[in-house]
Structure 1
């Protein structure tokens, strides 16, 4: 077991990690998979796929256990266009730890277990084609120090730890950086619905809306680059 985290189960049978030093979970304890599907795929990816005329580029802030990436890879296999998926992680988790996490039955159907391992074992800093419909690029380090391509991403999954746990990730500077990286008409989605978060988004140009959240949360946030 990794000394800094603990394995935990969530209500839908999928696993998450708990960080005692932060008193924070990687996913909702009400259900890791259903949270990811609702917040990131349902509110972010699906609208982008519906509007797409070419490949959809996704930026994920917080690769974590790889759950959002795995579900996006799964969706890419039936998507109308390919998906290019860039993900940023300051503290990568070893595959030996992640594979101990419980997985929902729906994610145990081949080839998803193999994809799950490939996501974690893929080399960093360069594109890796994991399926004809899905290309992964993992970027190690702090988001604030990365030079992101301008106007490149139709969807941004903002999945950092909560503002009171990781305040340096929830600043006007970060959301301005992400606004510049978003394509015109692109969106940013997050589980967070705090007023300070939405004010920072608006201050950096985003058009913000509160929409229904996943189980256990009344609201979540979606923001658009108009």
Structure 2
């Protein structure tokens, strides 16, 4: 896949990337920062914590490291909640420094701007190597595909691949089966995607599936539990 991308500004003022070959953005036009907070922090990490208040550490797996926004917000979440997090993410096509160094996520919220150095640290951390980045955040990113990656037990899954119409191979049922088999009891998968086919596939794999309000500009999203 050609990694020809350009930085765009979404409606909440935060950056995203436009992939010129796929003709697809990495985030919602209606606000990249707000989308990540809504889909992955609120309906992912916060929801898991409410259901599993005493379990430590929290093990997160992300499909689609992309701009690093979800990983960085998860680091902030772990630090603010003082909950140890083991974060594993995959990305077959990493961004160049000339792109990620210009992204403005660390300027979006004055309450977390002091975590700005960690955003660059996440990107510069060597691929395929685990590392303790902060007191509560242990991080590993693998330059590989979901087909090839070796999964670890997981509590929360961020499914943030490109949309099914653009990358249908990333939404095949056997991939969700692979993930489900490695999820721990009480684990949750959350995604911006709200297609009926996705929900049917998740149910067939074994998930309990919820239809939830989407982030700004999007009517619905999907969350799935392994009970």
Q: Is the 8 A contact 2:3 2:93 kept in 1?
A: no
Aligned to 2:161: 160
Q: Is the 8 A contact 2:132 2:139 kept in 1?
A: yes
Structure 1 CA distance, aligned partners of 2:114 and 2:84? 18
Structure 2 CA distance, aligned partners of 1:42 and 1:11? 20
- How far 1:101 sits from its partner (Å)? 2.3
Aligned to 1:137: 140
- Number of residue pairs matched by the alignment: 223
Aligned to 2:92: 90
Match of 1:59 among 55, 58, 61: 61
Matches within 5 A, 1:89-128: 89-103=91-105, 104-106=107-109, 110-128=113-131
Aligned to 2:77: 75
Aligned to 1:194: 195
Structure 1 CA distance, aligned partners of 2:89 and 2:110? 20
- How far 1:197 sits from its partner (Å)? 0.8
Structure 2 CA distance, aligned partners of 1:174 and 1:95? 30
Structure 2 CA distance, aligned partners of 1:130 and 1:158? 23
Structure 2 CA distance, aligned partners of 1:67 and 1:93? 13
| TM-score between both structures, scaled by the size of structure 2 | 0.94
Q: Is the 8 A contact 1:127 1:136 kept in 2?
A: yes
Aligned to 2:26: 26
| Structure 2 residue matching 1:155: 3-state secondary structure | strand
Structure 1 CA distance, aligned partners of 2:74 and 2:135? 13
Q: Is the 8 A contact 2:60 2:86 kept in 1?
A: yes
Structure 1 CA distance, aligned partners of 2:225 and 2:124? 33
Aligned to 1:177: 178
Aligned to 2:5: 5
Task: Kindly report the root-mean-square deviation, in angstroms, between the aligned alpha carbons of the 2 structures.
Answer: 1.6
Gaps of 5+ in 1: none
Aligned to 1:37: 37
| Structure 2 residue matching 1:144: 3-state secondary structure | coil
Structure 1 CA distance, aligned partners of 2:218 and 2:187? 24
1:82-104 CA-partner distances (Å, limit 9, x unpaired): 11100011111122211122334
Structure 2 CA distance, aligned partners of 1:109 and 1:180? 35
Q: Is the 8 A contact 2:3 2:19 kept in 1?
A: no
- How far 1:46 sits from its partner (Å)? 0.7
Q: Is the 8 A contact 2:209 2:223 kept in 1?
A: yes
